[in-house]
Amino acid sequence: LPAPLSIEPTQGWDGIDGSWNTFPLRIGTPEQYTRAFISTASQQTWAVIEDACWLDTPDPNDSTKLVKFWDKQCAEDRGGVFIPDKSRTWQEIGFFQLWLERNLGHGGNGRYGYDTVGIGYMEGEGPTLLNTTVGALKSESFWLGHLGLHPKSTNFSAFKDPSPSYMTYLYEQHHIPSIAWGYTAGAQYRLGSILASLTLGGYDASRFIPNELTFEFSPDNERDLVVGVIGLTANTANKSDINLLKREPFSIFIDSTVAELYLPTEVCDAFEQELGLKFDNDTQLYLVDDDLHEKLLAQNATIKFSLGQPYVTNATVDIELPYAAFDHVAKFPYRGLRNESRYFPIRRAEKEGQFTLGRTFLQEAYLVVDWQRQNFSVSQCTFVHGVQSQIEAIVSPVYLGEEVGGSGGSKKLGTGAIIGIAIGGGFTFALILCAVGWWFWRRRRARKRLAVKEAYAAQVLGSGEDSKDEQNDDTPTSPTTEEPGTNVFPKAELPAGDNGESYTDEKDKNGPWLTVSAMPSPAIEVENTERQIFEMPGDIPARPEADGRLLSEKESMMVRERIYNGVDPYGPPAVSPASTEAPRLPTLSPSEVTLVGSRRMPVSPTTPRTPSARDGSSLEACDTFFQPPPRAPRDGRFLEGDETLLSPISPLEETPRRRFSYE
């Protein structure tokens, strides 16, 4: 069983976003030395490429031209540079996006390949691995390179196998007892400077105060070291227990790749209000001038994070950070700064996916991570000068015969996990029931549709047969005509009654012409077998004329007399013997009606038109053919004053006139 590896850090402090302890790396063949941070989120090894420190400067001889200038100070500030082309073991892969911390606004491209990587200044200080993934970068978003502690593999192409991480190689080649580690970033402000501590395959028990709280991994493998911030308070020289958590508890990711603490905006506002911080819009930093710095030193504030894992356990652990942990200096070119300036390393985060505890937090916190058991712990660091290291191994469950994955086979599920499983199971069961019910409903609906289609098809088929029968019987026949094998009767409905009774038509008393015996119940209508009867279109006969000849004058006068007076003194006119229809009276117009009497009646001021004879002869308005006798009064006297309504052909004047006649 291999022993854990305790990696010695460098004695220097690097960075443009503060002062941070680094670790030495040896990359390539021959070895090229660089200094790097520790990244708890990355699975790769990064180094600054040589091109990052070649600067374009004006030519001293010609100001219109630019020449390349090698900046030695740049190479030193960035922890040394790596030149891939000078390594005999470099295997080029290509240029790819760095991808790490993109949610925080960091980005850039890197030149990737496989090469030899060792930890420590000398070969004996740490293992050297071949064909490990190396990224050479130029972006200022990452001022120094780093050593990634995440065990996940790197996929460069779907056509190639994933590249194992450095931690996976160490475990597979039996350099460490497990894929686990313990790390703290070091504190330059403590006891003259306390260096960082990194133990691979175990942890250093002398660097922290143990507690009983164990955190489970988050499902997101890019943000797996997640804790819940249950409380956040501040204590100053004048106040105590100042609440800085101006919102509900939230989850936050622990990541040593970045320096600052990315906190919700409500929490940052509380820091501004309680500590008097000032936010700079240009750099998006909380810059601290000399006056504010003296004020914060006088307050001697201590920030306490209460961490827990909601829905799993109610236990919490407190991590306290003094103001000295936040007293850092930012340098050019960080966030566009032109000069060095003190700043308070908290950043405003808008989304929960940005909430991050960086290296500032890990100055006072010790992090132990067991990747194979999927759990980790966070503890308060201790600072004792000259204390001896106590390296403890974390043995892989493979060596102990335990099941790999989860948090160990013997550990019970938490209350939150049980509730989550129960809710998930109930929801799944409900979905299954809904799916089964929907399937039966669809099946029943399909059967109904099929039955309707069959009924409709049968109806259409029956209609087609009836149409064929009608087409064959187009010739109209008498309903009483009998054809061989066919009896045609008028359609009739039989009276209903009880079974076994007989019904006799009352029209024939001597004997029934239709008798029904043993009529089944219910009554069934006799099938309609009569043939269709066609009715010929009718026509109104034209009025006959007098044998096709013109009427004489006498006949015209007789017709006129009959039409207007309704009296034919000479008997019925001679008409065609084929005519049996009574003559139709023509319609009278108002101008052809005149009222006459013993006294002149009031008439319309409109003069009546002169009537014209229907046979073409003209008559005067006073011409008449018949004048009825005067009415006798009931008492035998003639009343001259009576207004009598006479025939419209009565004379218009009282003077008698002789009767006109053609005879």
- Looking at 122-126, 239-243, 658-662, which range is the least confident one? 658-662
CA nearest to 96, candidates 133, 143, 64, 131 = 133
- Looking at 344-358, 376-390, 511-525, which range is the least confident one? 511-525
DSSP secondary-structure letter at 547? T
- With a cut of 50, say whether residue 336 has pLDDT above it: yes
Give, rounded to a whole angstrom, the gap between the first and last alpha carbons of the chain.
162
Question: Who wins on pLDDT, 653 or 298?
Answer: 298
Per-residue pLDDT at 378: 98
- With a cut of 70, say whether residue 62 has pLDDT above it: yes
Type of residue numbered 543: R
- With a cut of 80, say whether residue 258 has pLDDT above it: yes
- With a cut of 80, say whether residue 578 has pLDDT above it: no
- Looking at 179-193, 393-407, 570-584, 640-654, which range is the least confident one? 640-654
What's the average model confidence in pLDDT over 45-61? 90
Residue 261 has which token pair?
Answer: 């603490």
pLDDT band at 423 (very low <50, low <70, confident <90, very high): confident
- With a cut of 80, say whether residue 191 has pLDDT above it: yes
Question: Who wins on pLDDT, 580 or 423?
Answer: 423
- With a cut of 80, say whether residue 534 has pLDDT above it: no
- Looking at 291-305, 373-387, 406-420, which range is the least confident one? 406-420
Question: Who wins on pLDDT, 344 or 520?
Answer: 344
- With a cut of 70, say whether residue 263 has pLDDT above it: yes
Average pLDDT, the chain: 79
- With a cut of 70, say whether residue 627 has pLDDT above it: no
Phi, psi of 317, rounded to the nearest 5 degrees: -135, 140
Question: Who wins on pLDDT, 403 or 248?
Answer: 248
Architecture of the domain spanning 208-381? Beta Barrel (2.40)
What's the average model confidence in pLDDT over 196-202? 97
**Out of 2.60.40.1190, 2.40.70.10, 1.20.1560.10, 3.40.190.10, which CATH number does the structure's domain 7-182 have?**
2.40.70.10
Residue 364 has which token pair?
Answer: 């006072």
Interstrand relation of 202-204 and 391-393 (parallel, antiparallel or unpaired): antiparallel
What's the average model confidence in pLDDT over 19-28? 97
- With a cut of 70, say whether residue 406 has pLDDT above it: no
Determine the Cα–Cα distance for residues 158 and 598; give it in Å rounded to an integer.
129
pLDDT tens, position by position, 146-184: 999 999 999 988 777 899 999 999 999 999 999 999 999
For residue 32, the number of C-alpha atoms closer than 13 Å in the C-beta half-sphere is: 25
pLDDT tens, position by position, 4-22: 999 999 999 999 999 999 9
pLDDT band at 567 (very low <50, low <70, confident <90, very high): low
- With a cut of 70, say whether residue 353 has pLDDT above it: yes
185, 42 Cβ separation under 8 angstroms:
no
Per-residue pLDDT at 467: 57
pLDDT band at 483 (very low <50, low <70, confident <90, very high): very low
What's the average model confidence in pLDDT over 51-71? 86
Residue range(s) occupied by CATH 2.40.70.10 in the chain: 7-182, 208-381
127, 18 Cβ separation under 8 angstroms:
no
Q: 402-409 long-range contacts, Cβ below 8 Å, gap at least 24?
A: 404/372, 405/372, 405/374, 406/373, 406/374, 407/214, 407/216, 407/373, 407/374, 407/375, 408/373, 408/375
CA nearest to 576, candidates 549, 601, 538, 607 = 549
When mean pLDDT is compared over 233-247, 548-562, 577-591, the highest value belongs to 233-247
Residue 621 has which token pair?
Answer: 């308005």
CA nearest to 43, candidates 140, 195, 164, 201 = 164
pTM summary value? 0.63
Determine the Cα–Cα distance for residues 186 and 565; give it in Å rounded to an integer.
141
Interstrand relation of 250-254 and 356-357 (parallel, antiparallel or unpaired): parallel
Determine the Cα–Cα distance for residues 315 and 416; give it in Å rounded to an integer.
13
Determine the Cα–Cα distance for residues 118 and 60; give it in Å rounded to an integer.
42
Per-residue pLDDT at 303: 97
Instruction: Tokens 């040589």: give the residue.
Output: 50
DSSP secondary-structure letter at 510? S
pLDDT band at 252 (very low <50, low <70, confident <90, very high): very high
Determine the Cα–Cα distance for residues 632 and 460; give it in Å rounded to an integer.
82
